[in-house]
Structures are given as C-alpha cells and as structure tokens.
Amino acid sequence: MAELSVVTLGPLRMTLQGEPLRGFRTDKERALLAYLAIEAGRSHRREALAGLLWPNVPEANARHTLSQALTDLRHVLGDRNRSASPASAFLETTGHTVELGADRDVWVDVHAFGALTVSEAASAGGNGAHERLQQAVTLYQGSFLEGFSLPDAPAFEEWQLLWRERLRRQVLETLALLVAHYTRAGAYEDALRFAWRRIEHEPWSEDAQCDVIRLLALVGQQGAALRQGEICSRILSEELGVEPGASTRALIRAVRAGTLPGAAPDAPKAPRPLAAQGVQQMRNVPAPLMPLIGRDVELQELGASLSDPTARLLTLVGPGGIGKTRLALELTAIHAARFRPCC
C-alpha cells in the first residue's frame, strides 16, 4: 500500500498510510493536492497555481492564500512532523515553485489506469494483456472527480473537464477491446458484462447497443435482446433524433427470426430477483434501462438509513448529472418489497 493514495476516478478520496486524509479547511486545498498529485513530475509556478484556483482576487492576495493553503497541506500530510530534509516531505517548495516530491511513495489511480490502458491497448492479445485491461476497468469507479466542482475557478474546471473526457474515452476504448476479445473467445457472458458497462457510460452509442443485443442473443436471451433493441431505438430517437441504422435493424431481424449465427436457444426464465419484483410492486417507479455499477457502498449506507426507524426523511443531494436519480431508483428496487405500496 502506498503511503499516500489519491483516488480521482469517482468521488475524490485521499488516504495517508491507509487512513482517510482529514484536516482540509477548504475544497480548494483538496483540489490543490489532487492537482499536484495528478500533474506530478514537474514544478509548478506559484503564480500559475494561484491563478488556477483563485483567479478573481488580486495576485498578491492569491499568492498569500496559496501560501496559507500549502501550510495547511503540510499539516494534513504530516510534513511538519518530518525531518528538515526536503526529500522527506511530500511537498517540495521554493519561493517560486511547488511540486509533489518525486521520492515520496504516492499512488494515483489515473496514473495506474493510464499505464494499464495505454500499454495494453498497444499490445492487446499478449499474455495477460486482457487481465490488465480488466484491472484498468476496475479502477474506473466513476467520472474524474465526480461531484467535485469549483465554480469560481474556471481554469481548474476546464482542466478537470479535459481529464474527464480523456479518461472517459480511454475507458470506452478499453471496454470495447474487452468486449471484442471475449466475443472472439466465445466467452459471451464475460463479453456481455463489459458490454453492459460500456453502454452505462455511453447509452447513445449504437455500436455499444448492438454488442449488448447480439450478446444477449448469443447467451440465449432472445427476449431480452429484442427488448434491448426497443430501448436502443428509443434512446437514439430521444437523445440524437435518429433511427437505428441498417446494420442494427438487420441484427434485430436476425434475433427475431432466430437466424443469428451462434445464437443459443432461449434460456429458461429464471425467477425474477427481489429488486425486479419490488419495481413491479411499486408500479409508479420506472424500471432502469441498465444495471448500476460501482455504487455498492452508497447503496449499503442508504439501505442502513432506510432501516433506521428514527429516520423519517432521506434526501440525496449533489450536483446535477452525478446519478442521484439512478441511485434512488436502484435503492427503491432493492427495498421496495419491504414496504406496502402507497397506491
């Protein structure tokens, strides 16, 4: 385990010697440490960091605020308790520059993710390559700095957006490689697992939807494949204002006619899981289109709150677009059977 770990794929989490890093006075201090960790390996001018995080105040004031933030970070990181040797501290500073010490034991998830995806995408098919690609996908627990925002620091927000889009493209390319690999290997259940994850990130991708439709048919779920075809058509219409392409329509016709090469017979219908029964029981709750991935901790915490007889109201809060509605639907589906329908 690294001495300092910085997790940015999903909500920002930082640990020191395995314990959550506490003591930050502001979100900008957290942002500063995350930025230095991600952009490690080079010195940053103090005026650049001040302009990145405090652009709307006079430069002298911004430089002073940066100095105070660095002092706070030294306390948070324990640098004040280390020896006076610069090599022993996490933060290396001069009168003009700041950087995260290159000799410190620091693990950053985006660096690990990038190393796994870039090297393995270039050599896909080598020994262990796809196992490492799966490790990369496991690291991707959500969008970059999910739910984190500094509205008064547009340069930081732009940096965050660029990283978010870059990493999203990388995970989509990685998932496509895994789907193709396991499909070629005839491991259709594994391929379907990664195909579901791909459309969770990009539901309007017709190629990704076709992968799910095809793989559902290949594992003997023709009915589910046809329903997914309907979902695909609806998403394309609502999100992009287009109809499915010729190849998609041909795929759906082949599934309906039972002529898709390699497709298995319809599998026996398994009993519906409790979550699905709950959604049906509460008829006014829409059934989610895709599985929810990477929210087990939140679901456990929310489930515990629902079980607390003293809790009369449960509210999900956060910036728009981070998945509050989807999380609420999943929570409802899991726990609906415990409650009497209201209508």
Exposed, middle or buried, 188 (CB in 10 Å: 0-12/13-18/19+)? buried
Rounded average pLDDT over 142-165:
96
Q: How far apart are CA 26 and CA 76, in angstroms?
A: 12
* pLDDT in the model for residue 309: 56
Q: Can you name the CATH fold of 1-182?
A: Arc Repressor Mutant, subunit A (1.10.10)
Residue 15 bridge partners (DSSP): 5, 20
Residue located via tokens 């010729």: 246
Tokens representing 290 are 């895709």
Interior angle at CA 209, CA 203 and CA 214, nearest 5: 160
HSE-CB for 236 with a 13 A CA cutoff: 18
Q: Where in the chain is the domain with CATH 1.10.10.10?
A: 1-182
In angstroms, rounded to a whole number, what is the distance separating the alpha carbons of residues 156 and 162?
10
Mean local confidence (pLDDT), 116-144: 77
Q: Are strands 106-108 and 4-7 parallel, antiparallel or unpaired?
A: parallel
Could you tell me which of 266, 288, 318 has the C-alpha nearest to residue 143?
318
Looking at residue 283, its pLDDT comes to: 43
Percent of the chain with pLDDT over 70: 76
Find the range with the poorest average confidence among 55-59, 267-271, 320-324.
Answer: 267-271
Residue 329 burial by Cβ neighbours in a 10 Å radius (0-12, 13-18, 19+): middle
Confidence of residue 177 (pLDDT cuts 50, 70, 90): very high
Sequence-distant (6+) residues with CB within 8 A of 297 are none
Q: What is the dihedral of CA 326, 232, 189, 178, to 10 degrees?
A: -90
Q: Using CA atoms, how far apart are residues 227 and 247, in angstroms rounded to an integer?
A: 17
- Contact at 8 Å (CB) between 5 and 14? yes
Rounded CA separation 201/209 (Å): 11
Count CB atoms within 10 A of the CB of residue 263.
Answer: 20
Give the tens place of pLDDT for each residue, 81-103.
544 445 568 999 999 999 998 77
Q: Tell me what pLDDT residue 84 has.
A: 43
Does 245 or 280 have the greater pLDDT score? 245
